[in-house]
Amino acid sequence: MSIFNVFFIKLVVCFLFVGFSALSLSRDNVSCGIENGVPLTPGYGPYDYTNPSHRDKLPIVINIHFTREVEMLIEGSTGTVYSDIDYTLRAIPNYHRALYAISRLEIRNGGFDREKNKYYSSFCYFERAVALQPKDFVAYMLYGIHFHRVGDLNGALNKYNKSEELGNDSAEFYYNFSLLYFDLDEIELSKDYAGKAYALGYPLQGLKKKLKLAQ
């Protein structure tokens, strides 16, 4: 195959991705684009980030749309930061790094404005993620972190409980759950989960200091 043909194919692929990414149709933030329990998407996907058999389908999305600059919320790759994260999460609804990025982006923007924003809310992106893979405990943890950061402590508790029920026993999970219990004024539970986090080698010491001051 000639160099020209390779270049042409790459150009067509990029054009298709930009086209899908730039779709101006507003997202349905009532159903979240979920039909019969499945997150729908035009074009490519949806693929499950936790499914090994889907792994070879992911780089073409991530390499084009979820660049370092997009993840850091600096600038878009094929359009705006929002459009690139939106495309990524429609193609791979439970891509953990993109879920964390959309949460940060929405919080940075002061919340979701339904009148001004044509994309899904963070709530919808998370609902799509767990609809695609109900056993993804990392997605539930990130959902809980998002709720905690926007001040919905009961919502965060619900998602953390679900994440733990599904088997999440990571240091990061225990640390964040401890922070939530601290904010819920459940100091003993906060100490218990902090102990689990530090036993697993969690490096940040801020929680330990907060708990000492609370004694």
Crossing angle of helices 206-213 and 171-183, rounded to 10°: 30
Domain chopping of the chain, boundaries: 21-134
Least confident of 4-8, 80-84, 106-110: 4-8
pLDDT reading at 115 higher than 80: no
- Residue 25 is predicted with a pLDDT of 59
Could you report the per-residue pLDDT of 35-46, keeping only the tens digit for each? 988 898 877 999
- Residue 192 is predicted with a pLDDT of 97
What is the C-alpha to C-alpha distance for residues 60 and 188, in angstroms, rounded to an integer?
46
Q: What is the mean pLDDT of residues 107-121?
A: 89
Q: Name the percent of the chain lying above pLDDT 90.
A: 76
Q: What is the mean pLDDT of residues 118-122?
A: 95
- Residue 117 is predicted with a pLDDT of 86
The CB-side HSE value for 88 (13 A sphere, CA atoms) comes to: 29
pLDDT reading at 23 higher than 50: no
- Residue 11 is predicted with a pLDDT of 36
User: Which residue pairs from 209-215 have beta carbons closer than 8 angstroms and sit at least 24 positions apart in sequence?
Assistant: 210/182, 211/182, 211/187, 214/182, 214/187
**39 phi and psi, to 5 degrees?**
-75, 120
Name the amino acid, one letter, at 129: A
pLDDT reading at 8 higher than 50: no
pLDDT reading at 6 higher than 80: no
